[in-house]
Amino acid sequence: MGRWIAIGRAPGWDDLATFGENLKATDKWRIDPRTTITEVVALADGRFIAECHAGAQADFEAWLQEHGWQVESITPIRHIARTGEIWKIS
Amino acid sequence: MTTADELRKKPQLFYDDVAEGQEMPPLVIGPMTPTHLFRWSAAIENWHRIHYDQNFAIYHDGLAGILAQGSWKQSILPRYLKDLCLPDGWPWKLKFQHRAMIVPGDTITVWARVTGKREVDGLGLVDLDIGMMLQTKIETCPGTATIVLPIKGGRAVPYPFVPPQGA
């Protein structure tokens, strides 16, 4: 299993209601038992960051494509600091 | 949600009333929230971090989120069978497997289907397929059960329950 960050643009997701429609329900972020969109961040410059935990990068790419993302980059995560806790990812 | 008082007054389901292939009334729980999970962890003093620490669950164990406890699932299926049998039947046997994870946001439908019925020693034994289905139609806890229902005009199901001879 791996973990990736995608940066890109997601048309319409600047609107919070649309953002919620695409991400709130469990089946929107828990794609299948092996693929989870763990976080999506909307930046003020119009871009988005999405984090995915999945068996293969292709699983994440399929989700991004399905949602019409214009992807700038997809990169594996090495480690994370979150509110003072450090997690080694790969 | 069904109240305890409603359960006490629940009409008895009789052996005569069920048929092979019959679907039992489902029990729907959820959407699950972190509060549900934390309440169960506190009640049974299960402090494994995968049940209440989302960062640990996601970044250490690589899970989709904090997980509903197996022991919670083990409490729900007997509760469902007990409610089916009330007030005078008995949920006798249950076995099931843990096949999939339940995380906050999931909605669970507990279900049962009659697979067979037989009279033994004056008691009505009903065999069931049972499970706990997610909203995605993933079956998290497939299993089987046997409940004992009174037969109309027959003898009472003993309490405390005494298994019938030869069953």
Q: What is the pLDDT of residues A23-44, one digit of tens each?
A: 999 989 999 888 999 999 999 9
Q: Average pLDDT of each block of 10 consecutive residues along chain B (167 residues)?
A: 76 96 97 96 95 94 94 96 95 96 95 97 96 95 98 95 84
Give Dmax (Cα) for chain A. Answer: 34
**B98-B101-B106 Cα angle (round to 5):** 125
Q: Which CATH number is A2-88's, of 3.65.10.10, 3.40.50.720, 3.30.70.3100, 3.30.70.20?
A: 3.30.70.3100
Q: How many CB pairs under 8 A join A and B?
A: 39
Asked if A85's CB is within 8 angstroms of B136's CB, the reply is no
Q: What pTM does this model have?
A: 0.87
Q: What is the pLDDT of residues A31-82, one digit of tens each?
A: 988 899 999 999 999 999 999 999 999 999 999 999 999 999 999 999 999 8
Pairing of strands B123-134, B108-120: antiparallel
- From chain A residues 28-87, the ones with a CB under 8 A of any chain B CB are 30, 33, 36, 38, 53, 80, 82-83, 85, 87
Distance from CA of A36 to the nearest CA of B (A): 6
**Chain A contact set for B58 (CB, 8 A):** 36, 38, 53
Answer whether the bond into residue B150 is a cis peptide, omega within 30°.
Answer: no
Take residue A22 and report the two structure tokens written for it. Answer: 């695409």
pLDDT attached to residue B145: 98
Rounded Cα gap, residues A9 and A27, in angstroms: 22
pLDDT attached to residue B5: 79
pLDDT attached to residue B154: 94
| SS3 at position A21 | helix
For A24, name the nearest residue in chain B, comparing CA atoms only.
B105
pLDDT attached to residue A4: 97
Domain boundaries, chain A: 2-88
pLDDT bin (cut points 50, 70, 90) of residue A1 is confident
pLDDT attached to residue B6: 78
Q: Please name each of the domains of chain B with its CATH number.
A: 13-33+68-149 (3.10.129.10)
